[in-house]
């Protein structure tokens, strides 16, 4: 079955909690089509239409990223895995990103803390898959690579939790590989899973080095949610056009890298029936470690095993 979630306050929230009432309840294998606002909780369908600002239905004091959901899935239980298949993504017509100004790791290192914060306004062309901004009267063009930055299920822990850091149950992963044709696997911690999604990105390099990607609304997000009881995971994993991906999250980048590496090594062990040291040796020949993002407090690393790299 295909469901539709309209872009309205009743479908948005700005924090994770296992106590939030679902915006939608579905069966395993159902698909959902939805739109997402920009990171500032706004949406405009075209240049000719004014930007509408939306609000969280949970009335948080400081809501984070605008997320659609939660979506409850019948039959989802702790210990199972939620498969999130990304069927299609269509970014909106505009995007923004920012750099400099606020105190952050990258601004400190580049001498930009305390300077004027700049904003680039991008005009996006989903048909041509290009984005254009103006700097000093000159046009600059980039190729688009739309993906969803934030996908997660509710954590087992009580209370409301910030959208900023990625966790064992997903969240603000900000991995540019999670675009059209990708599948994200999330360990389920609560009954019904309570899946939430948001944070559309039109383009981003690994690292998200300024602190933001080209943040944009999404005119279409088409996903299929399937509960899996044949997989056991303690951390998110993904299957993308580039290959299999294991994730690591930690404030210490070294520990995030170790977590991602361990995840992909264990996956190679499972797939190829080898010992851990043997899987690590194979990994050294073919696996790429990439810095997902350095800007969410908890840093991210993803380990990529290209399809067919080990035969």
pTM for this model (two decimals) = 0.95
DSSP string, 109-170: HHT-BTS--EEEEEEEETTTTEEEEEETTEEEEEE---EEEEEEE--SSSS-B-SSS-BTTE
| Residue percentage of the chain with pLDDT more than 90 | 95
State CA 144 to chain mean position distance. Answer: 16
pLDDT digits (tens, 9 = 90+) for 119-153: 999 999 999 999 999 999 999 999 999 999 999 99
Q: What is the pLDDT at residue 105?
A: 85
Strand pairing of 237-240 and 170-172? unpaired
Q: What is the pLDDT at residue 76?
A: 98
Q: How far apart are CA 150 and CA 63, in angstroms?
A: 14
Query: Of all residues in the chain, what percent are helix, strand and coil, respectively (each to 5)?
Result: 15, 40, 45
The encoded tokens of residue 125 equal 């062309």
Q: What is the dihedral of CA 35, 224, 167, 165, to 10 degrees?
A: -10
Mean pLDDT of the chain: 96
pLDDT digits (tens, 9 = 90+) for 143-201: 999 999 999 999 999 999 999 999 999 999 999 999 999 999 999 999 999 999 999 99
Q: How far apart are CA 31 and CA 176, in angstroms?
A: 22
Whether residue 61 is predicted with pLDDT greater than 90 in this model: the reply is no
């Amino acid at each position: 079955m295909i469901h539709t979630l309209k872009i309205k306050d009743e479908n948005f929230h700005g924090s994770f909690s296992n106590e939030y009432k679902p915006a939608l309840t579905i069966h395993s294998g159902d698909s959902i089509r939805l739109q997402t606002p920009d990171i500032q909780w706004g949406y405009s369908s075209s240049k000719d239409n004014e930007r509408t600002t939306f609000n969280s239905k949970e009335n948080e004091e400081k809501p984070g990223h605008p997320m659609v959901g939660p979506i409850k899935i019948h039959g989802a239980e702790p210990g199972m895995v939620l498969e999130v298949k990304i069927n299609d993504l269509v970014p909106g017509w505009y995007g923004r990103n920012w750099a400099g100004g606020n105190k952050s790791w990258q601004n400190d290192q580049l001498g930009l803390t305390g300077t004027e914060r700049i904003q680039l306004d991008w005009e996006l062309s989903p048909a041509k898959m290009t984005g254009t901004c103006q700097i000093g009267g000159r046009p600059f063009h980039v190729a688009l690579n739309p993906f969803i930055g934030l996908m997660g299920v509710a954590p087992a822990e009580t209370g409301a939790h910030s959208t900023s850091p990625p966790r064992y149950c997903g969240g603000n992963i900000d991995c540019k590989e999670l675009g059209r044709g990708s599948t994200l696997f999330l360990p389920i911690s609560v009954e019904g899973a309570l899946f939430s999604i948001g944070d559309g990105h039109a383009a981003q390099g690994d690292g998200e080095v300024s602190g933001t990607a080209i943040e944009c609304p999404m005119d279409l997000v088409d996903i299929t949610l399937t509960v899996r009881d044949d997989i056991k995971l303690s951390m998110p994993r993904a299957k993308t056009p580039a290959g299999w991906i294991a994730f690591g999250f930690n404030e210490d980048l070294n520990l995030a890298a170790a977590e991602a590496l361990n995840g992909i090594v264990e996956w190679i062990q499972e797939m190829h029936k080898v010992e851990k040291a043997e899987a690590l040796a194979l990994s050294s020949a073919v696996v790429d470690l990439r810095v997902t993002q350095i800007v969410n407090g908890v840093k991210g690393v993803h380990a990529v095993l290209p399809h067919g790299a080990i035969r």
